Amino acid sequence: MTRAAAWFGLVASVSGGLLGCAPNRGDDTGSVEPAAVMTDNGLPGVNGLSAVNGLATANGLATANGLATANGLATANGLGSINGLSGVNGFNGTEGFNRISGFNGANGIGSVNGLNLANGLSSSNGLGSATGLMTTSAGRLTVSYLVKCALATGDTLAKQDQYGVNYTFKGSVGLAPEYKTAGCTKGCAEALSSCLMAHINTSGVHIPLWLDSPMSAVGWGQSPFFPMQEGTFFGQLMVVNATNTLDAYYCNGPQVASDTVPGRLGSKQGNVPYANAYPTTDGLCGTAGHCAMQASGDGAVSCVGNGITWTRPITVWRGQTFQAEAGTRTGAAAPLACSQCGGGKRVGYIDARSSVTFNGVNVAASGTANLIVYYEDADITATTRAFNVRVNGGPAQYRTFAPVGGDWNIPSSVAVGSASIALTGFRAGSNNTVVFKGDGVHAAPDLDWIEIIGDNTQAASPDGRSFSGTGTCNPAAWITTAGHNPGAANLATDGDLTTRWTSNQGQGLADYFQVDFTGMVKLSQLTLNDTQTSNADYPSALALYGSSDGTTFDATPFATANGSYNKTVINFAERELRAVKIRITEARWQQWWSIGELQAACAL
């Protein structure tokens, strides 16, 4: 079966699709496991998934660094997930999967971590609460990634920590559903190992990927949005071999050196737990004697490593990327050396009137596509940085960008972030132009590269659940209404900043504006843009209420914001919903309320 990509880390939803990253939340204290793949830690490579110990017992899945959050089993890589097991902290050698115990029935993967391969995860002997992984936030993240790879979408695992706090971990891929109630055999561990390795990204940059595998939970099939076959991962991370080393391998796909991205095969990955299985030949999967390839070229059916034929490989495909330094620049925009950036460069000094144009952008289908923007913003304070983005000369989509970390004065410390924008106006083929231009007021972030994902890509929510958007990110198709002057509400989504919806009367606390996306979408930002009409018609404060059916709205808001002159930008953690009601919570009584354009960071 064909599987799309998904946004999440090691956890790719095998429905395939894109999944995204959640902000760093620190140590979790609630009763539900935090969103997978945070943006600032990870399985970085120094400790983690090291080539010597991997998930092997003495070092394995460490509870201190675990599949830590920021780089961790990041979401954008696999099954279209975002990146993954990052290389600096990762599977630490002190506590992880104990190499001494291995598949031992008494201790399994080491009692230090509380995880035992001989028993199911749901049992106290399979995954303990008093010691190991369940006792720390990082350890629980490790558990969440294992569960996401092992269990299917819709299945969950409930566990307690040492204090009796309950956590629910959600499945996605479904590679080893039996591991919930029974032991994990060598075949089970091999499948989970391939899944873990496929999501490693040593840079922590979240990259969407597409996965193929002979395992039925993943399946076969290609996507036009992921044309670059990066490579195949196979072997065993959880148990060492007779020489006390790991049989953890990869081999290169034909496009491993094309459109390379930080932290993945083809780049300088640094410390990783796997090695090329064929270092003395060409290193390619498809060479005779290396891997048996699927008839349609989707990936490897089996691969040979260390004299063993491994039958549960996962092949990874990357999307086509467009580097900013290769684009056409105007104004002050200039390329800068950047070792951690895609292609080793980024474009900086993009002021309010400068621009970067990408020509020859290839998309598979006309209409709407999801554009992933990779950028750098090391501002310490909450300074606004923004772009107006246009496709083929169409209307601008305004997007602000949050700081992602680092210090502008220390170039090597500047982190790479990503943001998703749904844009309309694409034409099928390679004759597309995308222009990033300053908004005329604020400086823009530094621009690294962009990637086109496609409007029909399934996604997964940050907590690992699969998500398939049924709504639309095309503002012209949204259904709008308002408490006052509802007949003009559509003027707030007509793509024209010179027109507006207005309340036609002074503001009141009962005033609202409502938009229905016609089905479920994922939102992370709303902008009320009045830059070209009635820029003083804003309320003092607003609240956003969500609805999953377009009729009944939550009793409490999921976001609040203060209104501001010209435009009000409201950022919030990514949320799945069908409709939003924007309600005034603090009015400017003598002022009308107007919205020139309602703009959204929307994805399906």
User: pLDDT tens digit string along 319-335?
Assistant: 888 999 999 999 999 99
Are 107 and 98 contacting, i.e. CB atoms less than 8 angstroms apart? Answer: yes
| pLDDT classification of 62: cutoffs 50, 70, 90 | very low
Q: Is 309 in a helix, a strand, or coil? A: strand
Q: Residue written as tokens 């992984």?
A: 133
Please tell me the predicted confidence (pLDDT) of residue 18: 25
At 397, is the pLDDT very low, low, confident or very high (cuts 50, 70, 90)? Answer: confident
Length of the chain: 604
Fold of 321-452: Jelly Rolls (2.60.120)
- Structure confidence by residue, pLDDT tens digits, 363-379: 888 888 888 899 999 88
* Phi, psi of 306, rounded to the nearest 5 degrees: 55, 35
Confirm whether 321-452 and 475-603 share one CATH topology.
yes
State residue 95 phi and psi, 5-degree precision: -120, -15
pLDDT value, residue 359: 95
- Return d(Cα 189, Cα 150) in angstroms, integer: 10
The whole-number pLDDT of residue 41 equals 24
pLDDT tens digits, one per residue of 565-587: 999 989 887 788 999 999 999 99
Amino acid at 336: L
pLDDT value at 271 more than 80: yes
d(CA 225, CA 453): 5
**CA 435/CA 355 separation, integer angstroms:** 7
For the chain, what are the domain ranges?
Answer: 321-452, 475-603
Higher pLDDT, 592 or 107: 592
Average the pLDDT over 291-310 and give the result.
96
Identify which of 217, 215, 247, 251 has the alpha carbon closest to the alpha carbon of residue 233: 251
Cα separation, 212 vs 3, whole angstroms = 7
Task: Return the SS3 of 342.
Answer: helix
What is the spatial distance between Cα 210 and Cα 447, in angstroms, rounded to a whole number? 24
Looking at per-residue pLDDT, the higher value among 412 and 106 belongs to 412
Of 153-162, 293-302, 514-523, which one has max mean pLDDT? 293-302
Query: N- to C-terminal Cα distance for the chain?
Result: 21
Mean pLDDT of 470-490: 89
Residue 150, pLDDT above cutoff 70: yes
Give 544 or 457, the one with higher predicted confidence. 544
Confidence tier at 490 by pLDDT (50, 70, 90): very high
What integer pLDDT is reported at residue 513 of this predicted model?
97
Torsion sign across C-alpha atoms 265, 338, 83, 359: negative
Q: Indicate the SS3 state at residue 521.
A: strand
What angle do helix axes 186-198 and 137-150 make, rounded to 10 degrees?
Answer: 110
Please say if the pLDDT value at position 110 is more than 50.
no
The Cα-based distances of 308 to 252, 314, 505 in angstroms read 18, 16, 76
pLDDT mean across residues, the chain: 77
CB 35, CB 77: distance < 8 Å: no
- Top-confidence residue, 281 or 10: 281
Element (H, E) at 156: strand 156-160
Is residue 74's pLDDT more than 80? no
Summarize the confidence of residues 526-551 as an average pLDDT. Answer: 92
| 289 band by pLDDT with thresholds 50, 70 and 90 | very high
Burial of 550 (0-12, 13-18, 19+ CB in 10 A): middle
In this prediction, residue 469 carries a pLDDT of 59
pLDDT value of position 108: 31
Structure token pair of residue 425? 């106006």
Is 556 a residue whose pLDDT tops 70? Answer: yes
112 confidence band (pLDDT: 50, 70, 90): low
- Sequence-ordered strand ranges (E) for 142-276: 156-160, 166-170, 209-212, 228-236, 247-252, 275-276
Tokens 């924008």 sit at which residue?
Answer: 421
Residues 6+ apart with CB under 8 A from 579: 514, 515, 516, 517, 546, 547, 549, 550, 553
Share of the chain above pLDDT 90, in %: 39
Whether 384 has a pLDDT exceeding 60, the answer reads: yes
pLDDT at 357 over 90: yes
**175 and 215 Cβ atoms separated by less than 8 Å:** yes
Confidence label for 522 from pLDDT (cuts 50, 70 and 90): confident
**Higher local confidence (pLDDT), 63 or 296:** 296
Q: How far is the C-alpha of 539 from the C-alpha of 529, rounded, in Å?
A: 13
Nearest to 583 by CA among 527, 508, 518, 473: 508
The token duo for 295 is 């008839």
Taking 70 as the threshold, does the pLDDT of residue 462 lie above it? no
Owner of token pair 């259904």: 479
CA distance 266 to 261: 8
In the chain, count of helices (H) and strands (E)? 2, 34
Q: Which CATH class, in words, describes the domain spanning 475-603?
A: mainly beta
Calculate what percentage of the chain has a pLDDT beyond 70.
78
Please give the pLDDT value at position 579.
Answer: 94
Once rounded to an integer, what is the mean pLDDT over residues 482-499?
A: 92
Residue 423 pLDDT exceeds 50: yes
What pLDDT score was predicted for residue 315? 96
Residue 590 is classified by DSSP as T
DSSP string, 424-452: EEE-SEEEEEEEEE--SSSPPPEEEEEEE
**Tokens standing for residue 96:** 């992880």
Over residues 267-275, mean pLDDT: 86
Q: Give the span between the Cα atoms of 64 and 41, in whole angstroms.
A: 11
Q: How far apart are CA 189 and CA 312, in angstroms?
A: 10
Q: What is the pLDDT of residues 170-187, one digit of tens each?
A: 888 899 999 999 999 999
Which of 342 and 51 is assigned the larger pLDDT?
342
The radius of gyration of the chain from alpha carbons, rounded to an integer in Å, stands at: 24
Q: How far apart are CA 331 and CA 350, in angstroms?
A: 8
